[in-house]
Each structure stands twice: as structure tokens, then as C-alpha cells.
Structure 1
Amino acid sequence: MKALVCTTPGQFDYSEKEKPESVEGRAIIKIKRIGICGTDLHAFEGTQPFFSYPRILGHELAGELVEANGAEGFSPGEKVSFIPYFNCGTCVACRSGKPNCCTSINVCGVHVDGGMAEYLSVPSASLLHGEGLSFDELALVEPLAIGAHGVRRADVKPGEFVLVIGAGPIGLGTMEFARIAGGKVIALDINNDRLQFCKDRLKVDHVVNALDPDITEQLKQITNGDMPTVVIDATGNQRAINNAFQYMAHGARFVLIGLQKGEISFSHPEFHKREGTLMSSRNATREDFEHVIASMKMGLVDPKTYITHRVQFDEVKAEFESWLNPATGVIKAMVEL
């Protein structure tokens, strides 16, 4: 089978790999769609933590089930996606219902080879039914689940102001599920085109450009002087994360979905007097995936609006680097096989 391998930062090569063999407990999927996410872009750049080369990227995937191999209720030929965080099932995190942060987790396309290939073998227990969704929609369940998990971590309550920093695909999904939870969403980004997308496509309540000199004053005005009670970072940018502590209301929760390699720095007295809560949000759980699928089926979220670029698998190597350039206007690139 044909696969696309990221051999070193900045370098892709197509190569022939052995098609996965039938193994009990592992399903085989014929890949039909691959969504390109920030993890893939960072891996290509060489800035992704917990990463080694060479690696086949790709974990936003949808396809046709070829072999179920122990997946009860699944049949060959049906449309499927899967949960791409393969956990051990026995560590302290898994035992406490947090397989998304398993101590020995293997994330598809990060720690183990992913789906930029014609076929992929995954644990049968990770499969998700297509539920009548299209391949495009199924490939976008995973990035939306990331945002849904972050919103669940934040425990967003109806009517409270939720500041989401970063209007990339993960940030957009976070905004959607904050809205579904009843939050009043504020989008913060440096890209006016993306902020306009938030207003026009997602009907976000308020948008603020992060390059404005009066961000704090704008947030005070929007929140009637209170500041946001939930702040969620979806940038993975060190400066953005450090700056965001000043945007927290007293008693606020700050959730880090974005990940960067450096140190977090903030004023302890300012954080302490707010009795702030700082937490990370890693990956997602089956509960989040099922929430996303149900929301799609109910029409509460339409992920297809995020797809701005579409290419065939043979074109990925030539096109991929261009998606790093904000000038291309890419929000979500979708690969077809």
C-alpha cells in the first residue's frame, strides 16, 4: 500500500508499505478521508512535543471498515471513524476513567504511525460507528472532540462568558461546544479573517483582535466589568498562554487545550487573589466523541463549514507546506483517498 512518511522535519516521502495483516482484536480500515490538524503541521515544522521521526502522520480519519476482528456490532463495509488515543487500560489514569491521559498512551500519528496511508490497523475497541454521517463529517469528529473535552473540563455553565483564544480548527470547535453548553463566547485571535469567520459562520457573540492595545478594556465592556469566568487557550502559543492569565475573572477557570514546549509564567499574587483554577485538557474520551456525533446528527454543529482546502492523497506532499502559511487562508484541509 502507498503511505506518506514524514522522514524529518520539513520532509515528506511517499513509500510502499505492507498492508496491515488480520490480527484478532485489531480492525482494518480503508482510509477515505484525512483531516490535517495542528499536530500534523507542528510535526512537519519540528515543533511538536513527544515526537520522533520517521512517522506516518494523520489521526483525523474516516474510512470503510475492512475487517472488524472482535469489534462487536461492527460489520465490514460500514463507514467508521475511531478514537486515536490507544491506552493501556491498567494504569492509574485508565483505572480512574481517564484513558485520554494514560501513562503509556500511544496517539495515532504521533507516538505510532497514523493514517496517511491506504489502510490502517487500529484496536477494535477504538472503533466508532458512522451513524449516517459522511466521510468528511466523520474525519472531523476527533478535532471537535478535543474542543468538547476542553469545554467539559471547564464545566461551562449557561450564561457565563467563555473566552476562547485561537480561532484555528480546535478553537472553532471549542467555541461551538461552549455555545452548545450555553456559554456566551468571546473569540480572541490575531487574524481578522478568522474572527470574521467566527462571526459569520459560527455566530460567535463577540470577537476581539489579540493585537489590539486595549484587550482588557474590551473584555471588561463585553462582560459588564467582570471579565470571563472561563478562559480556554487553543493556540499552544507561549506568549498567548502567559498573557491570558490577566483576562481571568475572580474565581475563573483557565483550561489549556493548546500545548507548547516552554514554561508557563504568571503572577502568583494576581492568580492567587482570583482563586483561579488552572487545568490542562488532553485528547478526549469516548463520552466526548459520542457528544460530538450526537451534536452533528442534531444539526447543532456543521463541521463541513471548516473545510477550506481539499486535495487528493497524491497531492499532499506538494501542498502541505503551503498550509503553514496563514496567507493561504486554510482552516481545515481535507485529504481524499
Structure 2
Amino acid sequence: MTEHIGVALFGAGRIGKIHAGNLARHPHTQLRYVVDVHRPAAEALAAEHGAIVVGIDEALADPGVAAVVIGSSTDTHADLILRAAAAGKAIFCEKPVDLDVTRARACAEAVRQAGVTCMIGFQRRFDPTFAALKQRLDAGEIGTPEVLIVTSRDPGPPAAAYIAHSGGVFKDMLIHDFDIFRWILGGEAVSVHATGGCPNMPEVAAAGDISHAAVTLRTRDGALCQINTSRRAAYGYDQRFEVLGSKGLLQAGNVRPTEVVAWSGDAISSDKPEAFFLERYCAAYSLEIEHFFDALVNGTPVRTTIEDGIKALELAEVATRSWREGKAMECAI
């Protein structure tokens, strides 16, 4: 029987609660510690799962902790990765690695030097529908992929205070879509053209960001990707994409609370998409944590590495420059 892996969780907010529940259900993990600057939140989450609230130093100093799960605010990610790597802990970290590419690369070097496993939380790769599409694509069902179209829309914008420190829409939201681009088309971008604006959302513009964006990427072999995103979709969380190949088309649609469809003399109706990311990607969050700890138990590589995190961040950086300068950018990523 495999011994339980001791885990320290950093972050007791929305995503921390999701990870804590998934850790509690995993057969090979034991959530030992919860660390959060907001102690009441940490205490409530720790009490729910039989863990203890401690500080960063104490959590990392415990030899019984073999892995850390980082679900705290973005500005803490790099420091926690560096400290966890120095302590010899395996690392699962939510995206992004950092908002600064140079600092993210320093984290990757620290991970490499320490020889520890580090996985970045690009949960969309673990979504059952998206993963099924990828398997069929890799099996050659539609031939060579030529065009990827990604729709990614939030139901509503976050608070202006959050937007002002988020790194902007390309690093905050589209970083997931840049990862989808690399995962699905299997290549790197040689050009990026991003544009956007704030139609009817002046509060986003006042925070120094845009609410709507369109990005076109091209790979070295000429495959294209078009991403459209919005911080507001009145009908729910809109997450879908399609791949046009030389022999056909594959589509991955939204997830709804139920698949019941009502037919009447007035209309044909169904449920709206799931409300937001926590509901939409519930299964994906569970599967990615399962994959991370199974990889530790079996000594196998993780699917979403810190290098994947850096590549997506680099694309977000190029897209930000493209939007600000109003022109396409060549890139050697």
C-alpha cells in the first residue's frame, strides 16, 4: 500500500477550497497544513479537513511534507515556488507562474536545479470534453489541424481593484487560451496579433485594461488560431473551441447543469452554460490533482510543466505588446 503524501496548501480562497476537497478525497494524500494570510479563512478550511494552520516557514520545514499546492494570490506564486524548490518539495502551482517573464524563468531554473517536480494548473487540459477532443485529434480523425477557434468569455468582470493588479486580460484570462493553442495545435507561435477594447465597460478601461479581445496566432507551418474573449457574457460562462482539419472538424462545447431540453409550441430551450469556472471545471480540477499525485507516486512526468507555464506567459506578454502598439508581433517562442 502506498504511503500517504503529506501536503501543505497555500491559499484558502475559492480555488484553495476546491483543491483542499480534492486532496482530502485522493487516496494517496494527507492535507497537513493550510497557509493563508487571512487566518480565519485558513482556520475554517483546516478544520473542515483535519489540517493545521501554520506559517510558510513551518510548513516548508516539515520533512513530512513532500508536496505543496499553491492556490494563493498571483503575487505570491514565484516566491512560494522558489522557497518550495529550495526545500525539496514537489510543487503544484496555479497559473501564472508570475506576471514577469524573467522572474518566471528564474523559478523554472530553481526547479531544475532542485530536481523537484513542478506542475502548473492549466486545468482545461484535464476537462473530459476537451481531453476527448485532443485524443481524437491525435488519432488522426480530422487529419492535420489547420485552424483553431477558441471562444472564452466570463459571465461578468471582477472588481476594478482586482483588474488593476491582475496583469491585464491577456495574462489573467487568455493565458489559459494560449495554453490551449499550444496543446491543440502542437506548435509554437511565430506571430501574434492582438486587439481589443472596452465597449460599454468604462470601469475596466479606468482600471487600465480591456474587457474584450481578439487574438490571431500563426504557427511556423501556417496553422492559425483565433481567440475571442470577453469579460461579460450575460448567458453564463462560455468555454468552447473547434478545430478545422484537412479531413474534417472537431468541436468541444459548453457544459450545462443538465442536458434536459424542453420542447413546446413557443420555443425549444435548454439550460444555460455553467455559472463560472469553479462549476465548469469541477471535474478538471479533480483530475489534475489526481494526475499530479499519481505522477509523484509512479515517478512519471506531469503533463503541464513549468515550461508550459512560461510559454503561455510569453505569449500573453507578446499579445499585450501587440495590443498596446496596435500591430502584429513576430515572435520566436
With normalisation by structure 1, the TM-score equals 0.34
* Structure possessing the higher relative contact order (Cα contacts under 8 Å, 6 or more residues apart): 2
With normalisation by structure 2, the TM-score equals 0.34
